[in-house]
Amino acid sequence: MNAKKRINTMEQLSAEIGVSRATLSKYFQDPSLVRKSTSEKIARLLTTVDYVPNFLARNMNRKRTGLFGVVLPHLNDLFYMTLLREIERRAEELDFSVLIQNSHGDPQREVQAVENLRSMNAEGAIVAPIGAVQNSPTFKRLSRDLPMVFVDARCPGLEKEFSFVGTDNAQSMKLMVDYLRRSGTPPKFLSMPSVNSNSDERERAYVSRMKEVGLEPQVISASSSSPIWDFESHGYEVTRDLIASGLDPDATILCANDRLAMGALRAANEAGLTGSPDADNPRLRIAGHDDHPLSQYMWPAMTTVSQDVSRIGRAAVDSISSEARADSDKGRKPVEKLFPAQLCIRNSA
C-alpha cells in the first residue's frame, strides 16, 4: 500500500485539494458552513492525504473554541482523579474538550496554570483552588477574559464574585458528628493543614454541631513535620503522638478527610487499638470524610461520608459552560451549588 502524502500546513492542504484556505477553515469549524458539493470534495480528498488539523491554531481566533480548562492541586490524589473523570464525561456530552493543568499545590504554578489556559483561548476554567490568598486579585483580573468556576474549595475573598460547586460541609459534618456521638464516645476532631477552604469549613461545622448538642468540641490541630499536602503522614504522626501521650483507647477521632484517617488508622493498628479482624467494634474509633476510593479497602474499612462527586463534576461543567457562553459579563451571575453527602458506615467506627 502506498503511503499517503504528508501535509503539514493548511496552505499545503489548500493547494493539494484545490480550495481556498478560508473555505478549509470554515469546513473544519463546521462542514455545513460550505456548499454540500465542496464539503463532499474536501471530505473525499482528506482520505487520500496524511493531515491532522492544528487544533489550537484553528481555534486561536474563534470566540467559541470548544475548550475549557481544569486546574487541580495534585494529579496523584484519587479524589481529584475521580472528579476529573466526571468532568470529562460531562464535557464530552456537551461537545467540549478539556485541557488539564496541575498546580502541584504551589500558588505561583496555580496562577501560571490559569494564564496558560487564557493563552490557549480556552472558553473558561474550572479551578480547584489551593486557597492562596495572594492569588485572589490575579484570579479576579484574569476572569475578565477567562470565566472561572471554583470546585471543591472556595477561593479566599472571592466567595461572592465567583460561582462555586462543592459539598455542603455543614451538612456532612453534622451527619458524622451525630452518628459518632450516638454510636460511641463523642468525637474529637483531627484537623487538616490549612490548604484550602475545606479545612476551616469542616472544623467550624464540627465545633458548631458539638455545641448545638451540648458537647464540648475537642479539636486536635498538632503540628507535623510532613509536607503540607502529605495528609497521610500528618494523620499518622499526630495520632501516634496522641497514643503515646495516653489517648483513651475508647476515644473517637473524626478526621477532616479520609487521607488523614488513613494515617490515623495505621498508627492505631501499630498500637493494637483497632481490634482483631473479627471484631465488629474496634476500640479506637476513627472516621473520615470524602469516601476516598481506597477507604473501603483499609483495615478496618473506613467509616466516612461520600461526596456526590458525579453531580459536583457535572454541575461544574454546566456552570462554566453557561458562564463562558453568556452574552456579556453582566450575564454571568455567580451561583453556589452545594450537594449533600451520604453516610458510609464501615468497621472503623
Query: What CATH number is given to the structural domain containing 160?
Result: 3.40.50.2300
- Evaluate whether 152 touches 282 at the Cβ level (below 8 Å): no
Positions of the chain with pLDDT lower than 70, given as ranges = 1-2, 29-30, 52-64, 222, 224-227, 275-282, 327-332
- Domain assignment present for residue 58? The answer is no
Statement to judge: residues 284 and 162 lie in one domain: no
How many domains does the structure of the chain reveal?
3
- 200 and 281 co-located in one domain: yes
DSSP state of 227: -
Is 86 in the same domain as 19? no
Q: Which residues lie below 8 Å from residue 310, measured CB to CB, with a gap of 6+?
A: 86
Task: Check whether residue 102 and residue 224 sit in a common domain.
Answer: no
Q: Are residues 199 and 269 in the same domain?
A: yes
241 within some domain: yes
Say if 152 falls within a structural domain.
Answer: yes
Grid look-up 469516601 returns 291
Q: Is the residue at 349 inside a domain?
A: no
Contact indicator for 22, 42 with CB cutoff of 8 Å? no
Cβ atoms of 285 and 249 closer than 8 Å: no
Q: What's residue 34's pLDDT?
A: 80
Judgement on whether residues 95 and 149 belong to the same structural domain of the protein: yes
Does residue 60 fall inside a structural domain? no
61 in a domain, yes or no?
Answer: no
Non-local (6+) Cβ contacts of 58 within 8 A are 25, 28, 29
Range of the domain at 49: 5-53
pLDDT, residue 59, reads 54
181 and 278 both lie in a single domain: yes
Q: What confidence score (pLDDT) does residue 9 get?
A: 78
pLDDT computed for residue 282 by the predictor: 60
pLDDT at 217: 97
pLDDT of residue 53: 64
Looking at the fold, whether 136 and 229 belong to one and the same domain comes out as no
Q: Read out DSSP for 18-44?
A: TS-HHHHHHHHH-GGGS-HHHHHHHHH
The alpha-helical segments, DSSP class H, found in 10-135 are: 10-17, 21-29, 36-46, 55-59, 78-93, 107-119
pLDDT at 120: 83
Clarify whether residues 125 and 99 are in a common domain.
Answer: yes
